[in-house]
Each structure stands twice: as C-alpha cells, then as structure tokens.
Chain A
Amino acid sequence: MMGYIVRRLLLTVPVLLGISVIVFLVISLIPGDPATAILGAYATPENVARINAELGLDKPLPVQFLTWLGGVLEGDLGRSYSLNRPVAAEVIDRLVPTLILAGAALTLCTLFGVLGGVVAAVKQYGWQDKLVTLLVLIGISTPSFFLGIVLILWFSVRLEWFPTGGMYALFGDGGLLDLLHHLALPALTLAVVATGVVARLTRANMLEVLRQDYVRTARAKGLREGRVIYKHALKNALVNIIPIIGIQTGFVLSGAVYIESVFQWPGIGRMLVTAISTRDILLVQGGVLVVAACYVLINLLADVLQAALDPRVKV
C-alpha cells in the first residue's frame, strides 16, 4: 500500500507541472501586455518598458517560465500590485476560509448524497425514491447564487436566524460557534448541487450493483436482505462512489466562487473575482495555481482510499 501511495505521489508531479504550464501559458498569452493592464490609460512607453523589465517579460517564454517556476517552488508567486503585498501571503490567508467552506460543504454532500442515494435505490419506485429524485432535480437545477440570495432573504433578513454574510461577527470573539453560525448558510447552499449529483450517482450505482450476479449469489446463500444490501452491495457501490466524491470537490471549489461572493466569505474565490476586475494578473495566477494543486491532492486521496477498498486495483 505504501508503495502504491508513493507511486501515485510521484505521478502527481507531472500533473502539477502540467498545471503550472497551463496557468503560466494562459496568463502569458494575454493579448496586450500586462504592463499596459497595470498602468492603464497612463502608460508611457518608458514606463511600459520599465515594468516589462521588472517582470522579466522581455526574456523568451521558456526562460520566463523557468524563472517563474523557480519562484513558485520557493513560495514566491510575485507581488500583487493592487494589494501591494506578496501574492503567496494573500493566497494563504484566503485559502483557509475557502477550505473550511468547501470542507463543510463536501461533508454535507457526502453524508446526505450517499444516504439519499442508497435509500432511493433500496426503495426504488417507493415514495422515498420519488422524494429523493425530486430533491435531486431541484438541487442540480438551482443556481447556487440564486439559492444563496433567497436563503439570505429568508433566514437572515426576514427571520434573522443567521448573519447575512462574512466569516466572523464584526465585534465577536471569533470563536468556533461564531464561525459555525456564519458558516451554516453558505455551506448549505454550496452543498446543494453536489448533494444532488452524489445522490443521483449513488442511486444509479446501487441499482447497478444490486443487479449483479454476486448479489443473487448472496441471496442464494440465504443471507438476510440487510446483509445483502449493506455488506455485499453497498461496499461495491462505494468503490465507484469515492472517485465521484473526489470529482465533486472540483464542483464545490468552483461553486465556492459564487457562494463567497454572495455571502461575502473572505475566501479565495472572492479574491479571484476582485483580482479579475482589477486585472491583477499575478494574483489570479497564484490563486488558480494553489486551488488546482489542492484539488489534485484531494483526488489523490480519493484514489488511495479506493485502492484500499478494492483489491482489484493494483497496489
């Protein structure tokens, strides 16, 4: 198992490298140069040349990439001109709230998604199945930014149960309870779509597994239904569901961009949106790179978990 983990870790190195190439290229291929973007309408040719030299943009692309990559490896993502502080420091500050939000949402969606999917499959065509199917449909069709607004309107403005936004109360003690109080609505909103997807795929997988010959064998042995479903079927379904949850992380991290905007959550998504409108390219670059790296590592975790459950995966 250890060997498998090491091998998978080694295999993520080229992926991370590829990600950095893509991020670098996307940013480098900007039509028009960043100097003009930074300086805006007041760019004089001298200033543009000065900025270009400062950013190393007068060198050939591969040299630029290596210089940039060297910086990344040392934790230097450049300096944000709009905030006038190192990109790395800003990204780390913003990453933690995003991970808290995404982690909470992921926990919710796994819990309710798998539960809903299993219940729907076991009670296929029953009222439980119909209820889950309806909720799934609404879940995956609701724009999360719209749902967020509606929830704020209802639970924050009308009922005043939850704050309308932010991570901590302005004059609060910043304790865990305060955090959870602020986290509840955004995490719930973010979880809705992913829960729908997980529930739907869990249901489909359970139905698929329950049709397999080995389930018939289990029944032919005289096993009780509970054991057939939870020992024989669910375990096989989980093997397929785990990577799906890994992929949901991508949706959750993506959805976080909207949710952070709606709930003014001080995460990396909101930072990116602001950075784009101020055209702070280095900040965008650093943010995207770090989130993508997190995503790759989470998927690695999902793969390892799957290998631990499934003896057919070559360890």
Chain B
Amino acid sequence: MTSLALDETGDAPPRSRPSAWNRLSRNALATFGLVLVVAIAAIAAAAPLLPLADPNATDVANRLQPVFSDGHWLGTDQLGRDILSRLIWGTRVSLAVGIAATLVATAIGALIGLVAAYYGRWTDTLLMRGIDMLMAFPYLLLALAIVAVLGPGLLNAMVAIALVNIPFFARAVRGATVSLVTREYVDAARLCGMSNPRIIAREIFPNVLPVIVITMSTTLGWMILETAGLSFLGLGAQPPQADLGSMLGDGRKLIVTAPHVATIPGLVILLLVIGTNLLGDGLRDVLDPRLKSGALARPMAVTAVDASAGRPAAGAPNAAEAPLLSVQGLETHFVMGRAVFRAVNGVSFDVAAGEAVGIVGESGSGKSVTALSLLGLVPTPPGRIVGGDIRFRGESLIGAPLSRLQDIRGNRIAYIFQDPLTTLNPLLTVGEQVTEAVRRHQNLDSGRARQWTLELFERVQIPRAKERLASYPHELSGGQRQRVGIAMALANDPDLIIADEPTTALDVTTQAQVLKLLDELRRERGAALIFITHDFGVVSELCDRILVMYAGRVVEEGPVEAVFADPRHPYTRRLMACVPILGEPERSIDAIPGLPPAVNRLPPGCAFAPRCPLVLDACRHGEIPLDRLGDGRAARCIRAQESDQESSDA
C-alpha cells in the first residue's frame, strides 16, 4: 500500500487556462463588438435621461432639415421630427424587441431540444417532426403568415420572429444534447438514482449552456435585423411609435430628395448588427472547446522548419556508407500560445536497410511525433521542427523542398497509420486510393496501375480482391481496411515503412493476422520498418531493435532480446514490470508511482528522476547523456552500468 499512498504526490495540473473573460478581451474584434453594442445599448437605455426633443413632436415648417442644422444635429424628417431623438428612442425599441424575441425563442427552443434529445424515441420523433414542419417554411413567410393572422404591430412582429426562430434553437440544442446523452456520466447519474428531470437540469443543462449562449449571441443580430425588416415592410411598429426599421421604411420614399432620413437609421442597424455579430463570434470562439484549443487551424503541406535545424553535421558520411535512415538530435516542438511543448527533444537513431526498429513509449512520449517528423507530416500549426537533422540515404530531409519530400513520400518511405477508417478518404473507393499512390510515383497508364493495385490487394490477402477495388472504406471491416493501408504502403516498393500503431484499433485475433502479413511482406521485399507501439508484446513479435521513449527522448535502445532480458534504464524496467504477461498470472504487476511530466514543464536533468527508485542527486541536474554500453545497447541513465540495479530497486 505504501507505493500507492505515494502515488499521487504529483499535484493535479495547475489551473493554467486563462479565464473566459480574459480570452474574450484579448480578441480585438470581439472587444470592438462588445464596446459598440454596450455603447449603443447604454445610449438607448438612457434615452429618458438625455436632453432630447420629443421624438413625436411634429414641426412641418422645419421638415427635412439636413444634418447638422440648428437644434437638429441629424436634421428632421418629413414631418419635422428630430431625427436624433427618434433614432435613440427607435434604437431602444429595436433592441428591446430583438432581445425579447431572442429570449423567448431560446427558452422554448432549448426546452424542446433538451426534452427531445434526452427522452429520444417517439418523444424525439414527434417533437422534431413538428420542428421539421416549421423548418419546411422559408422562415420569413411563416412570420408573414403569423403577422397576417395577428395583425400588424410591434408585439405581433416580435411574437412572429420568436416563433419562426424556435426551430433553430431546438435543432442546435438537440444536436448538442444528443451527443451528451450517450456520455457515460449520464449513465453514472442514472446509477446514482437521479430522476430524469433532475439529470436534465443538473447534469445535461450546464453542459449545453455554452451552446445555448453561442446560439443566442449569434442569433441576436439576426433577430434585430428581422424585426427591423418587418417594421420596414410596415408590419411591425405602427405610427407614431418608431423603431429603426420603420424609420428606414418611412425614409425610403425620400431617398432622392433627402437621403439622410433613410440612411441614418440604416447605418445604425448596420452598426448594431455588426457589433452583436462580432461579439457573438468572439463568444463562440471562447466557449467552443474545439476552437479554444486552436483546433481549427489548417495544417500546412509540410511541417515548418526553423533555420537552426537541418545544418549538415561536420563530416557527414557520404551516401554510399550512410545508413538507410539517420536521425540526429531531432527536436519537434508544439507552440501553443506562450507554452512550448517539447514533444520530441533531441532524438537520434539509425535504421539500417532491411532492419525492423520498434519505438515504444506511453502516450505523450513523442513516439508518433518522431515518426511524423521524418517526412514533415507533423501538423503546422502548432508543430515546428526546431533542431536536428534527418538523413535518408545520406540526403538531408529537413529543409528539403516540398516537391522533393513529395517525391519520397509514399515512394521510398511509406506510412501506415493507426485507424484505417479515418485515414482512408470516405468518398473514394479503396482501389482508387491505392491506384492514386501507384500512379503518383510510377509511370503507368491507368489500366496497368489498376492491374498492379489488384495484385497488391491479392498480396495482402483481401478476399475477392477484384470486387473490393470498387468498395468504399466504410464497406470494409477494420482488418480489411488495414490491409488496404498496407497495400497502399507497399504500392511503390518502399525502402522504409513507418507503421504508427497500425493494429491498436483492431481486435487481438485480427491484429495477429495483420502483423504476420506485414512482417512477411516486408521481409519478402527487404524493406526496413519503423514500428511505433505501446505494446511490448507486438515489438517482440516484429522487431530486431527497440527504442524506448520517455518525455520526448530515447531513454534506452538495443536489440530486442537483450533489452527484454536485462533492461538498463529504470524506466524500461519499471514499465515492463507494469505489464501483465499472459501465462504468468502469479507475476505481481508493479506500478510506477506518479505521472509522466508535461513536456512543456520538463524538469532539469533526467525527466524520469521524480518517479525513479534509483534517483541520485546528480540525476536532477544538467544533461544526462546516452550511455553507450556496447553490443549496440545504450541507456540514458547515469547508473546504467551498475550491475546491482535489481537489488537496490527491490
């Protein structure tokens, strides 16, 4: 129990995310929108306190005064009423009606959406079919029909606009709720004995609230526009009361003689709506978790490379004697705001022709980023290669022109990715997708390329290969899809295959078949393999050499058998002790206390030191070098050569 009690000495991550308010105020456009809306709203709200002329006092003698005339800053309208005064009072009306309509539509729509999504089945069908019926109308026509029934008037216009917008809210909220209802915490709440209304109110509603706020804020401008529109048509505010829309409507007859009567209220509507839209967009950016993490940035065709990287090291070996692939001091960072995540932090290794190298590590160890860095496939933003060199047959790939990388990608170096459902294009047949890879790098006409694809499909043992060429990815099973992935990788007889957890998404029996196939085909063609996995068992099955990664660095490397028999780095040893091994049920599994460090806050010295049972003072300072142990083995540990590690560990 002692080790468990010490387990969680590492604190939970500190609260580092800036507050919603801070993030909103950092967004210049949103701030501008907020200021605009608040200013307009404040002036409108203060209308009774301001020294304004009576908005409805007519003075025909002074009609159609231009802007900046005496006593009427914005002139007068066709009845001699003060435009400034009418404008402020009208804004007040427009804002009030827009906000009221938004609130009504939100409340009813959100309730419908929540109930429909939570109860599902016939409740959902009934409610949402009804909503669909309302959505089958171009919304303004429905509003017109409602106004036709209720009669023109501001209140009626408000009701009509609110009603026709209910479907938007109901849909948005239902969509958000449906994805939440299947979350496990809702099941957990049921298991805690909570009643359905309580689950909706306490568990689901707080999580849907951001969606409701987003929809509200993005719709408010729209609602203001729509009520103004109805008034413009003469169906909203009735004289003598005026809102911005009816002022614009009245003014349009005078557009030639006195354009300011119409354009001024029009501009105010424009400003008000721009303000609310900017504010709404800003709020959405702040509240939407996907946008929050900067997830909507588009990855570039190649990872950005800093000028410091890719300088040829002195005395670089010439192509003839160079290993197939040589990685030297590779550093790939993710830059998010001010935080720098050192995902790959000085990784060096070689791969000889025909050799199979396994890279093992837990999530966040940098193993996948290392693999993707080799051909510049790490998404930028946020990824950058900031240091080191990658040489393929002696040729530096870092900083190589994109067209050169594209000639190598899929041709001399091919990838196999983890989840074949998301890594194949859903709209193209699998045959097309493999043929495309063939034709990109081989000068074949389409018939011969298809023939070659068929041969590849047969070679990866896809049953009824000829029919399968015309299948779409979703029509294949997971195992078959990954066979397509292998066929694609083999398409141009590559010298090196990089497989990134290719069997993690598969069942264990399918995994065994796919691994066997990959191993056979690779050997047959003499291709080298880099195999990324978290599974020690899979590495022993396939690989000659193993690299163990921790916190962005290689901590141990060597021949597979030797490393398994006698791991020299404490992390390797502890990690292997964590894994239950089939057929050894009595083996007590031993946990590693604590958590891996966050790669944006790496401790000085050895990154494993805080969790290491053998830690010395020297481990916590400076750079821990990779200790070459002979026989191709190495460990990044100052105690790697001690022979009595086992005993002191116990």
Contact = CB atoms under 8 A, between A and B. Distances in A.
A-B complex is real: yes
Interface of A: 15, 18-19, 22-23, 26-27, 29-31, 121-122, 124, 137-138, 140-143, 145-146, 149-150, 152-153, 157, 204, 206-208, 210-225, 228, 232, 235-236, 239, 249-251, 253-255, 257-258, 261-262, 272-273, 275-277, 279, 281, 284-285, 287-288, 291-292, 295-296, 299, 309-312
Most chain B beta-carbon neighbours within 10 Å: one of A157, A223, A275: A223
A272 B248 CA distance: 20
Given A211-B299, A216-B377, A273-B235, A222 B229 contact: no
A-B pairs, 6 with minimum CB distance: A254-B140, A146-B266, A222-B409, A221-B410, A253-B138, A222-B410
B400 interface: no
Interface stretch (B50-58, B421-429, B605-613): B421-429
Given A145-B229, A223-B436, 20 more contacts: A18-B133, A22-B137, A31-B149, A141-B274, A142-B270, A153-B263, A207-B296, A213-B423, A216-B377, A220-B415, A232-B425, A250-B137, A253-B140, A257-B233, A258-B229, A273-B144, A279-B148, A284-B148, A288-B137, A312-B426
A284 B133 CA distance: 18
Interface stretch (B5-13, B252-260, B527-535, B639-647): B252-260
Nearest to B225: A143
B298 A214 contact: no
Contacts of B415: 217, 220
B136 A15 contact: yes
Contacts of A276: 144, 147-148, 152, 235
B406 interface: yes
A292 B137 contact: yes
A147 B166 CA distance: 27
A208 B301 CA distance: 15
B211 to A, nearest CB: 16
A31 to B, nearest CB: 8
B406 A310 contact: no
A157 B225 contact: no
A231 B407 CA distance: 19
A301 B589 CA distance: 61
A281 B148 contact: yes
Contact of B136 (A19, A281, A287): A19
Nearest to B235: A276
24 contacts: A18-B132, A29-B149, A141-B274, A142-B273, A143-B225, A143-B266, A143-B273, A146-B270, A153-B255, A153-B259, A212-B422, A216-B379, A220-B414, A222-B407, A235-B428, A236-B426, A255-B140, A262-B252, A273-B144, A276-B152, A284-B148, A287-B141, A292-B138, A312-B426
A72 B134 CA distance: 20
Given A141-B277, A221-B436, A257-B233, A296 B425 contact: no
Contacts of B411: 222
A231 B375 CA distance: 22
Given A219-B377, A222-B441, A223-B406, A214 B234 contact: no
B325 interface: no
A312 B421 CA distance: 13
Nearest to B441: A222
Contacts, number: 226
B278 interface: yes
A188 to B, nearest CB: 17
B263 A150 contact: yes
B213 interface: no
B408 to A, nearest CB: 7
A214 B136 contact: no
B319 interface: no
B136 A137 contact: no
B310 interface: no
A220 B269 contact: no
B145 A26 contact: yes
A214 B266 contact: no
B406 A222 contact: yes
A204 B409 CA distance: 28
A236 B425 contact: yes
Nearest to B251: A149
A26 B137 contact: no
Nearest to B378: A216
A22 to B, nearest CB: 6
Nearest to B438: A221
A27 B141 CA distance: 13
Most chain B beta-carbon neighbours within 10 Å: one of A210, A249, A275: A210
Interface string B35-48: 00000000000000
A222 B138 contact: no
A285 B138 CA distance: 14
B362 to A, nearest CB: 21
A274 B232 CA distance: 13
A146 B229 CA distance: 9
